[in-house]
Structure 1
Amino acid sequence: MSVVARSTSSLAYPERFYAAASYVGFGGSLNSSTAALSKFQNDVALLLYGLYQQATVGPCNVPKPRAWNPVEHSKWTSWNGLGNMASTEAMRLFVKILEEEDPAWYSRVPEPTVEHKFEMPKPKVESSGETASPDEISFSEPKHISRENGGLIETQDKDIIMEGLGAIGVYDQWVAPPISGQQPKPRYQHGAAVVKDKMYIFGGNHNGRYLNDLQVLDLKSLMWSKIDAKVTKGPSESSTPAHVAPLAGHSLISWDEKILSIAGHTKDPSETVTVKQFDPQTLTWSNLRTYGKPPISRGGQSVTLVGTTLVMFGGEDAKRSLLNDLHILDLETMTWDDIDAIGTPPSPRSDHAAACHAERYLLIFGGGSHATCFNDLHVLDLQNMEWSRPKQQGVTPGPRAGHAGIKVGENWFVVGGGDNKNGVSETLVLHMSALVWSVVTSVKGRVPLASEGLSVVLSTCNGEDYLVSFGGYNGRYSNEVYVLKPSYKSDLQSKIFDKPTSDSMAVVIASTNVGRDVAPESEATQDGKITEIMMDNVDSGPLHMRTEESGEHIITALKAEKEELEVTLNREQLQNLQLKQELAEAETKNVEISKELQSLRGQLAAEQSRCFKLEVDLAELRQKLQNMETLQKEVELLQRQKAASEQAALSARQRQNSGGVWGWLAGNPAEKPSDYS
């Protein structure tokens, strides 16, 4: 998009605001701007007036007009109702309301000969010290020079009031801001993390060599500096100059105002993944001790912070084997747990991107193997530990690996990457609730944003979100910084503008003090009319009466909402009390069951001891029984021997007696006794 294109998106908010204010007719009095404001509803005109005063003068501190002047009274009420709203918020809301009411307003603004940069007008101060009438504020128009650079806008205006990221006003385009300080060595596959408005860059790959330097970019001053860190080896050892092992393909995670470095490729890899911690306060590195079963060492993995846990997926190990395993590190106990999820997981890969939606769903997009790149999207339900591959909508993203992703609310921005042929020039965004892809912007030429191994972090400045990119490789190594200011409709604003129009004014005013405010997309009704933000059902009565009636409606709506919230709160408190009672009963039952269990365990131990004694007695009885059987056999043997002996003796006597009879019969009678001789 050309910088001088006739579109509001080509202007920063101050320029866009003052162009809108000039179109509406502010700069003179409200009464002299009747022709320009007549196209709006009176309440809309009043709100525009109040927002203009808030943006240019600040919070209302002028006395309340007398009631006999209804117009001035209504103007004062509109301005005073904005409270302490920031001027930038008032600017954005002013432009947004104008674009909702008159979408083609900018096309009717006279074409300027040069681009202008409007500075914030300074209110005139009278001798009494009071602020002059807000209708007497004038505009100043110093020059503003911008130039194109292959789809990238490079800011050249030395008169910019805001510093750092806040000086970037253009939306949805990558900007190369002016950077000071000594730039880091060009690299890719490094790690990046943000802590307290500072982006830390650690490690990476340059010309095939791993790096171990630690660089920091102050996002307020946009100045680079190098950190000479120390490393602590143990509680009893003093800090020494850092010799952290050079590495690339690791992950940097911000946690508890510290930075964790997980995994990565090193020259001498360890067997398992190591976790290091850098403390920005003490400028020291330390090795964290983990428990459980740590994953094997790897690089090119994704590590996603989900609550108080880190979810690691995939990567490439030291033997160049691709992985698709899943591991979780509990940061409170520093314990690893390997997960066996159900469903079909993504194929083994590295250099993919991952994000978590609603603290429950892990999204994996893209990545590559040794031969190809992917453009598939996989979702892991961390509650059920189940993989799925949902249907994607919107534009079809091309295959890529080495890209970077960052989540901003409901939106997941994916930047850069390559497909083994060319760098990817499109910056994509995925609305994670609807799984709809769209293209944010596209860069031209061989720029670092169309690179592999770049990093993207999220930073917030003055209530605005900024994507900050660094490094990458697309045939050459980069050390350049680019910034993109995304325009998106936040969830809060989506809910606000879906409310009924009867109380929409109060909601819009209140919303400017809550969260970010970005130009919403116009929503059309069935008959093609644009949905109005402001009230359009007011009658034609006097202006101050309609304003007071509007205020009454607002108060009534707020009271009704308060009553609903109180009822809901009472219901929640009652449920909470019931849950506490149930919990107390459950704990009492648990104590009783524990006591019964302990008693049963004692009885079981006694029975086990008694059983053991019975087994010993049984063994002794069996031994005695065996001895008795042996004795029985011996007795039976002796009895048989005795019987045999008796039988033999009997047989011998019988033979002796039988021999005397036969001898007598044979004529050899036995000798007669001597008394027969």
Structure 2
Amino acid sequence: MQEMARTSSGLAYPERFYAAASYAGFGGSPNSSKGAISKFQNDVALLLYGLYQQATVGPCTIPKPRAWNPVEHSKWTSWHGLGNMASTEAMRLFVKILEEEDPAWYSRVSEFVVEPVVDVEMNNPNMESVTPNGDSFPEPKIISTENGSLIETEDKDVVLEGLGSVGIYDQWVAPSVSGQHPKTRYEHGAALIQEKMYVFGGNHNGRYLNDLQVLDLKSLTWSKLDMKAATESLESSSPVTLAPCAGHSLISWGNKLLSIAGHTKDPSETVTVKEFDLQTFTWSNLKTYGKGPVSRGGQSVTLVGTSLVMFGGQDAKRSLLNDLHILDLETMTWDEIDAVGMPPSPRSDHAAAVHAERYLLIFGGGSHATCFNDLHVLDLQSMEWSRPTQQGDIPTPRAGHAGVTVGENWFIVGGGDNKSGAAETVVLNMSTLVWSVVTTVQGRVPLASEGLSLVVSSYNGEDILVSFGGYNGRYNNEVHVLKPSHKSTLKSKTLEVPVSDSVAGLHPMTNATRDLGSELETDQDGKIREIVMDNVDSGPAVIDNIKSEETSERLLVALKAEKEELEAALTKEQLQSLQLKQELAEAGTRNADLTKELQSVRGLLAAEQSRCFKLEVDVAELRQKLQTMETLQKELELLQRQRAASEEQAALRQKQSSGGVWGWLAGTPSNQREDA
């Protein structure tokens, strides 16, 4: 019974995990075997370290060590490579790897394991479990369900709050949120750091914002950060004004936030990178090197390792882009990438995600005339674009949607097609490229909005999606959460087309043939093996038959080989034909899009020509008025000269008449006056 309990999948993992961690040298228990981990290989020890950190701390949020220490770099790489793996999954893998490396470990630390009580009327004995830092906490209760399986429950005295209050799967719910709600907005940026969602900027009633709001996901409480004056760069302390923006990208980098690009009232020539320090509450404009991308908004920015991959967007002149740039966060150097293959058409407001730290996926987006639902993949090693075949419930065309990844699943929420919002929450399995619908909302709700934000958090080892804001005819500031079930995240695995084999998946399937002398048998481990039956008789007649059939068998082998070659050639030709058809269809789609944009540009050009003609008419009228004014000016000058001459003549006559009077008064004879 004890051995069954120890190997049962129903056993709560914390007891067994902390026992295993103590034995491996991580738990810090006084009863642990110190240095036990030293007997493992370096790669196994590093993997155990990463799983331990993932299980006890959560996903790695600390930046990569800058000091050159191979051990610290290896530890960080092991932890960071686990991504958003749930803590319970990390616990399970930790114990599994330890059992594979040292099967007898449990017998040495059996005192750490508490056997579960399977009685429906009894809970576990009162006990305390040792945590890595030496603290203790009550273990969850183990109860029996109707079918006899064991499940974990929380203590009845624990009050569920925050994300813990979400008890329904695969449905969006609006939890009770306290605090001063932010302004309604869309096209803002959102990022998650240490169970807090940070929201920066956005568009509110046509005005850009520059506030920084925080939602504590533990208590679901809003608060606003009082930010200090921004500085020009980390090397400069001179304050600068933080310009309001929208359509930017907000990325969490360690304990800092990075805001990249975005539309502003007075855009710069190149993309700006701003950093917010959560310790000093200060914004800084980071200095970058290399040829920076042109200023833009509506782009996608994806964190891949220690680099940011930027694609597309719309510049300040409303020109759509499909260029590709990479910013190395360690050297802060931009690099423009000239990838091979056919890239996505110019677009903005699309979604991007990275799979296996190698493949960049671009989905949807819009141009001036249409929206897309195409999927493009960029191999970040070969820098080659491809357009794989999508399967399942392919989403409708949309732009302004948001997406997050949970393991190999990419959840897409919201967006619209300039007519209506997208009501379906969909998920893409990035390994099989199969779409499925998680849930559908009804009516004009924030979840069917454009420009909303989406982050993924974790509570009790379960991933929870958190959305905020958006625009669907009105601006929103509501918070909605969704807890995806294993069914919704795994159902797309029923189809079998991995990303790396998406082209091979187009080949026709053939059933493998088996010899008559073979059969299948299932061993005790549930594995299927092939057993070749010995049907060869030892008699001389059988030997003669074998010899006489050698020639025909050789001929049959040759015919089979030739048949396989012909089938391979035919498959290759079919594949090439299918690829050409896809390229032709894509070219036709692009041609239609360009035609629509050309018509739009022609309409704008005709309007500008009409406006130009009107301006020419106005200029001609003004010139005519100017000429009339010049004529009037000349006439005025002539009249002024004539008036001056008339005034001079009048003055002269007055003088002459006044001289004659004085002479008469003096008694001058009239004849003398006449002589004078």
**TM-score, normalisation: structure 2:** 0.51
Whole-angstrom CA distance in 1 between matches of 2:409 and 2:362 = 14
1:58-137 equivalences in 2 (<5 Å): none
What is the aligned counterpart of 2:474 among 470, 473, 476? 476
Q: CA deviation at 1:167?
A: 2.4
Contact 1:355 1:412 in 2 (8 A): yes
1:56–1:424: structure 2 CA closer, same or farther, 3 Å change rule?
A: same
Query: Which residue, out of 292, 315, 328, partners 1:330?
Result: 328
Q: Partners of 1:218 and 1:486 in 2: how far apart?
A: 21
Please give the alpha-carbon distance, in whole angstroms, between the structure 1 residues aligned to 2:437 and 2:270.
39
Q: Which amino acid aligns with 1:300?
A: G
| Structure 2 residue ranges without an equivalent (≥5) | 20-54, 57-86, 93-119, 128-138, 145-155, 494-521, 528-676
In 1, Cα distance between the equivalents of 2:275 and 2:142? 54
Distance across 1 between alignment mates of 2:337 and 2:207: 34
Aligned residue in 1 for 2:433: 435
Task: Supply the AA of the counterpart residue of 2:271.
Answer: V
Match in the other structure for 1:461: 459
Larger radius of gyration: 1
Query: Aligned pair in 2 of structure 1 residues 384, 164: CA closer, same or farther (>3 Å)?
Result: same
1:386 and 1:125 map into 2 onto residues whose CA distance is 59
Relative to structure 1, the CA distance from residue 55 to residue 337 in structure 2 (aligned partners, 3 Å threshold; closer, same or farther) is: closer
Q: Contact between 2:234 and 2:285, CA under 8 Å: does it hold in 1?
A: no
- 1:83-482 equivalence runs, <5 A: 161-230=159-228, 231-233=230-232, 243-482=241-480
Amino acid at match of 1:246: P
1:498-509 matches, cutoff 5 A: none
Question: Deviation per CA, 1:617-668, whole angstroms, max 9, x where unpaired?
Answer: xxxxxxxxxxxxxxxxxxxxxxxxxxxxxxxxxxxxxxxxxxxxxxxxxxxx
Q: Which residue of 1 aligns with 2:101?
A: none
Change (3 A) 1:290 1:235: closer
Aligned counterparts of 1:55 and 1:386: Cα–Cα separation in 2: 45
**Which 5+ residue runs of structure 1 have no aligned equivalent?**
1-29, 31-41, 61-84, 94-118, 127-133, 140-157, 496-531, 538-677
Q: Distance in 2 between matches of 1:138 and 1:357?
A: 38
Cα pair distance change 1:461/1:371, threshold 3 Å = same
C-alpha change, 1:360 and 1:181, in structure 2 (3 Å) is: same
- Displacement after TM superposition at 1:427 (Å): 0.5
User: Contact (CA 8 Å) 1:57, 1:123: kept in 2 or not?
Assistant: no
1:100 maps to what in 2? Answer: none
Instruction: Report SS of the residue matched to 2:446.
Output: coil
Aligned to 1:75: none
The answer to whether the 8 Å contact 2:446/2:471 transfers is yes
* SS, match of residue 447 in structure 2: coil
Q: Name the SS of the counterpart of 2:486 in structure 1.
A: coil
Q: Give the aligned residue type for 2:231.
A: T
| Partner-residue secondary structure (3-state), 2:259 | strand
Contact kept, 8 Å, 1:409 with 1:490, in 2: the verdict is no
1:122: how far off?
Answer: 6.8
Query: How far did residue 480 of structure 1 move?
Result: 0.7
AA in 2 matched with 1:327: H
| Residues in 2 aligned to 1:160 and 1:448: alpha-carbon distance in whole angstroms | 32
- Compute the displacement of 1:239 (Å): 7.6
Q: In the alignment, is the contact (CA less than 8 A) between 1:258 and 1:278 conserved in 2?
A: yes
CA distance in 2, matches of 1:312, 1:304: 7
Maintained 8 Å contact 2:436/2:492: no
SS of structure 2 residue aligned to 1:373: coil
Who is 1:5 aligned against?
Answer: none
Report the CA distance shift for 1:55/1:339 in structure 2 as closer, same or farther (over 3 A). Answer: closer
Contact 1:326 1:339 in 2 (8 A): yes
Query: Deviation string for 1:583-635 (max 9, x for gaps)?
Result: xxxxxxxxxxxxxxxxxxxxxxxxxxxxxxxxxxxxxxxxxxxxxxxxxxxxx
Residue 484 of structure 2, aligned match among 486, 496, 502: 486
Q: Is the 8 A contact 2:249 2:259 kept in 1?
A: yes
Letter matched to residue 442 of structure 1: T
Higher relative contact order (CA 8 A, sep 6+): 1
**CA 1:494–1:406 in 2, change beyond 3 Å: closer, same or farther?**
closer
- What's the secondary structure of 1:291's corresponding residue? coil
Q: Which deviations, in whole Å up to 9, do the C-alpha atoms of 1:235-284 show, x marking residues without a partner? A: 686586x8410000000011122110000000000000000001111111
Q: Cα deviations across residues 402-441 of structure 1 (Å, max 9, x unaligned)?
A: 0001111100010000011110010110000111000011
**CA displacement 1:146-174 (0-9 Å, x = unmatched):** xxxxxxxxxxxx99723221221221111
Moved over 6 A (4+): 42-48, 52-60, 119-126, 136-139, 489-495, 534-537
Distance 1:251 1:238 in 2: 25
Q: Structure 1 residues 120 and 399, CA, compared in 2 at 3 Å: closer, same or farther?
A: farther
Count matched residues.
385
**Helix, strand or coil at the partner of 1:165:** helix
Alpha-carbon displacement from aligned partner over 1:519-572 (angstroms, at most 9, x marks no partner):
xxxxxxxxxxxxx9x9899xxxxxxxxxxxxxxxxxxxxxxxxxxxxxxxxxxx
Normalising by structure 1, we get a TM-score of 0.51
User: What's the offset of the Cα at 1:46?
Assistant: 9.3
Structure 2 counterpart of 1:549: none
Pairwise CA distance, 1:210: 0.3
Answer yes or no: is the 8 Å Cα contact 1:43–1:535 preserved in 2.
no
Separation of aligned partners in 1, 2:121 and 2:231: 50
CA distance in 2, matches of 1:425, 1:389: 25
Structure 1 residue 232: Cα displacement: 2.5
C-alpha contact (below 8 Å) 1:188/1:205 kept by paired residues: yes
Q: 1:427 to 1:271 in 2, by over 3 A?
A: same
Task: Give the distance between the partners of 1:446 and 1:493, measured in 2 at CA.
Answer: 28
Cα offset, 1:181, TM superposition: 0.6
Tell me the percent identity.
70
Amino acid at match of 2:430: M
Task: Give SS of 2:467's match.
Answer: strand
The CA deviation at 1:44 is 8.2
Q: Aligned partner of 2:359: which letter?
A: Y
Q: CA RMSD in A?
A: 4.1
Per-residue deviation, 1:121: 8.3
Counterpart-to-counterpart distance in 2, 1:202 and 1:251: 9
Inter-partner Cα distance in structure 2 for 1:486 and 1:327: 33
Pair 1:235–1:460, CA change in 2 (3 A): closer
Q: What is the identity, as a one-letter code, of the residue corresponding to 2:323?
A: D
Q: Structure 1 243/53 Cα, relative in aligned 2: closer, same or farther at 3 Å?
A: closer
Query: CA 1:494–1:367 in 2, change beyond 3 Å: closer, same or farther?
Result: closer
Amino acid at match of 2:327: L
